[in-house]
């Protein structure tokens, strides 16, 4: 007879521990994630195409993100950003959505209100600026020779957590 209350107590304790762990897990999971990237390596000239290295980087990016829960892909309307996004939108079978690099504040508000996991292709100047608008924090610049930085923003109801890492090679 004494075993039943002990078993109920153990079961109750385990259930509370599980619920507590689930609550912590839910509390730390982002509502949605935004990945901001500069276009891949480019040729020279006005509105240049991607170089051979840039095309390879775009393919690698598509392979790396193909299994991620991406719901939207955004790009500025330049040849190099659209070409960087092309393999990804093809793999994910998503439309490529265009945004205006000159209207970053409006676009940041839209990304936050949409609440979708999204990949955003931009430029060495627009990517850090957009990240700063989204997280309301200081973000590191991207040099003219860097093409592999990924700015990650994990958005929760009350906070935006910024981190930055390099694309794998």
User: What one-character-per-residue DSSP string does 46-108 give?
Assistant: SSPPB-HHHHHHHHHHHHHHTTS---EEEE-SSHHHHHHHHHHHHHHT-PEEE--TT-HHHHH
Q: Which residues contact 1 (CB under 8 A, 6 or more apart)?
A: none
Per-residue model confidence (pLDDT) at position 4: 44
**Under 8 Å between Cβ of 58 and 83:** yes
DSSP state of 32: E
According to DSSP, residue 42 is labeled B
The string of pLDDT tens digits covering residues 101-140 is 999 999 999 999 999 999 999 999 999 999 999 999 999 9
Contact at 8 Å (CB) between 16 and 99?
Answer: no
| Short-list 143, 130, 140, CA closest to 163 | 140
Structure confidence at residue 2 (pLDDT): 54
Residues 58-110 have pLDDT tens digits of 999 999 998 899 999 999 999 999 999 999 999 999 999 999 999 999 999 99
> What is the structure's pLDDT at 21?
42
């Amino acid at each position: 007879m004494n075993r039943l209350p002990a078993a109920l107590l153990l079961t109750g304790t385990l259930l509370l521990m599980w619920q507590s762990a689930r609550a912590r897990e839910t509390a730390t999971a982002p509502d949605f994630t935004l990945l901001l990237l500069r276009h891949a390596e480019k040729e020279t000239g006005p509105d240049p195409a991607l170089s051979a290295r840039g095309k390879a980087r775009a393919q690698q990016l598509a392979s790396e993100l193909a299994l991620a829960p991406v719901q939207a892909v955004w790009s500025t309307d330049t040849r190099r950003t659209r070409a960087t996004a092309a393999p990804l939108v093809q793999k994910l079978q998503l439309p490529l959505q265009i945004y205006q690099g000159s209207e970053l504040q409006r676009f940041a508000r839209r990304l936050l209100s949409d609440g979708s996991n999204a990949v955003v292709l931009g430029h060495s100047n627009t990517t850090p600026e957009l990240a700063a608008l989204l997280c309301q924090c200081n973000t590191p610049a991207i040099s003219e020779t860097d093409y592999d930085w990924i700015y990650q923003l994990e958005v929760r109801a009350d906070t935006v957590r910024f981190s930055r890492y390099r694309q794998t090679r």
